Each structure stands twice: as C-alpha cells, then as structure tokens.
Amino acid sequence: AQSVTQLGSHVSVSEGALVLLRCNYSSSVPPYLFWYVQYPNQGLQLLLKYTSAATLVKGINGFEAEFKKSETSFHLTKPSAHMSDAAEYFCAVSVTGNQFYFGTGTSLTVIP
C-alpha cells in the first residue's frame, strides 16, 4: 500500500525566506510523486512531479523538490517566498500513475 505523510499542517515563513514543506512517502515499488497547490475554493494545480527521471525536479513558480530514496522523502522548496505562494499544498504518491494517495496537506502562510 502507498501512503504519504506531510509533516506540519501549518507553516509560516516571512516574505523572501526559504520555503520548505516536508513530504515522506511509503511505497513497496518505485513511486510517482507529486506536489499540488490549492487556492481557496479552487481545484488542485500541479506544481511538479517525479517520475523516475532526474531526482531534482523543478516545477512552476520557482518551486522544486528532490526525491531521496534513502530517506523516502520528496520535500518541496522555494528559495524565496512570495505573498502569492500562500495556499494549501498537497503531496501525493502513485504507483500505477492512476490512483493517487494524498497527504493531509500543509497550509503555507507568508508573512509580509
């Protein structure tokens, strides 16, 4: 079975500071890993995905994530937070590429 754990349901950073959102996964086979962002009352937008190619994945809006098999992690980072980054972020794991299992989400607050 696959699962995802997101440590920290709420993260606050100052504008311009580093953003680090943590995601650890559990999977018996090599997984696909994803980060999605959700703004209030909207659907999910794909930020980036790992599909067994390069372990450092660059996404939209300056976000990137590194797949670390030894740590079973896929943490999301951005060097400098912007006010518009405030949103809910979800990490997801998939094995087949079809069924996704989502983490509980991390709410990012950016402080001016």
Partner 1 sequence: GAVVSQHPSWVICKSGTSVKIECRSLDFQATTMFWYRQFPKQSLMLMATSNEGSKATYEQGVEKDKFLINHASLTLSTLTVTSAHPEDSSFYICSATSGAGTDTQYFGPGTRLTVL
Tokens coding 43 = 């659907």
Q: How far is the CB of 44 from partner 1 (least distance, A)?
A: 4
Q: How far is the CB of 89 from partner 1 (least distance, A)?
A: 11
Q: How far is the CB of 63 from partner 1 (least distance, A)?
A: 16
> Given the complex with partner 1, which of 70 and 98 has the nearer CB atom?
98
Residue 66's nearest CA partner among 21, 27, 29, 106 is 21
- 83 φ/ψ angles, rounded to the nearest 5 degrees: -55, -35
Nearer to partner 1, 9 or 80 (CB): 9
Residues that bind partner 1 (CB under 8 A): 32, 34, 36, 41-46, 49, 51, 90, 94, 96-105, 107
- The upper half-sphere exposure of residue 9, i.e. CA atoms within 13 Å in the direction of its Cβ, equals 1
Q: How far is the CB of 40 from partner 1 (least distance, A)?
A: 11
CB contact set of 63 (below 8 Å; sequence gap of 6+): 19, 35, 47, 48, 76, 77, 78
Taking the least distance from each CB to partner 1, the nearer of 2 and 73 is 2
